[in-house]
């Protein structure tokens, strides 16, 4: 896994061969960044299904509760299978757009 600290968010890039390796590493690292905006970029090389992606729901709920943004970037999944509040987008640019929109909403008090 590669972790990049950006100006407004922490970017987790999956480079592992298996999802299990990635989720284990992310789980161990999350406490360091739990109060930051997080974008997770899941490689299309990983074969994932809804069950795998659902493991991130508790982290998304945590970030929503503390007023930060949590976005998953993965293009090979049906986003309609997840709650509307769970941010899943197909590209990194769209993830950054979601982050910007949520920051604006928070600034406006929504």
Q: What is the pLDDT of residues 35-79, one digit of tens each?
A: 999 999 999 888 899 999 999 999 999 999 999 999 999 988 899
pLDDT, residue 16, reads: 72
> DSSP letter string over 3-53?
EEE-SS-EEEE--SSSHHHHHHHHHHHHHHHTTS-EEEE--TTS---HHHH
What does DSSP assign to residue 58?
A: H
The mean per-residue pLDDT over the stretch 89-94 comes to 96
Whole-prediction pTM: 0.94
pLDDT, residue 3, reads: 94
59-63 CB contacts, 8 Å cutoff, 24+ apart = 59/30, 60/85, 60/86, 60/87, 62/34, 63/34, 63/37, 63/38
Q: Which of 69, 13, 20 is CA-nearest to residue 42?
A: 13
Residues 40 and 74: their CA atoms lie apart, in Å, by 9
Domain ranges of the chain: 2-108
Q: What is the pLDDT of residues 8-36, one digit of tens each?
A: 999 999 987 789 999 999 999 999 999 99
pLDDT, residue 76, reads: 87
58: which residues sit within 8 A by CB, 6+ positions away? none
CATH architecture of 2-108: 2-Layer Sandwich (3.30)
């Amino acid at each position: 896994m590669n972790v990049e600290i950006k100006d407004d968010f922490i970017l987790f890039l999956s480079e592992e061969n298996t999802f299990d390796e990635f989720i284990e590493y992310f789980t161990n690292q999350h406490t360091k960044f739990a109060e930051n905006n997080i974008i997770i970029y899941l490689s299309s090389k990983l074969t994932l299904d809804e069950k795998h992606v659902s493991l991130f729901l508790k982290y998304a709920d945590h970030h929503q509760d503390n007023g930060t943004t949590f976005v998953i970037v993965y293009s090979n999944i049906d986003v309609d299978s997840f709650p509307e509040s769970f941010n899943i987008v197909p590209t990194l640019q769209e993830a950054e757009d979601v982050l910007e929109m949520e920051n604006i909403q928070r600034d406006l008090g929504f």
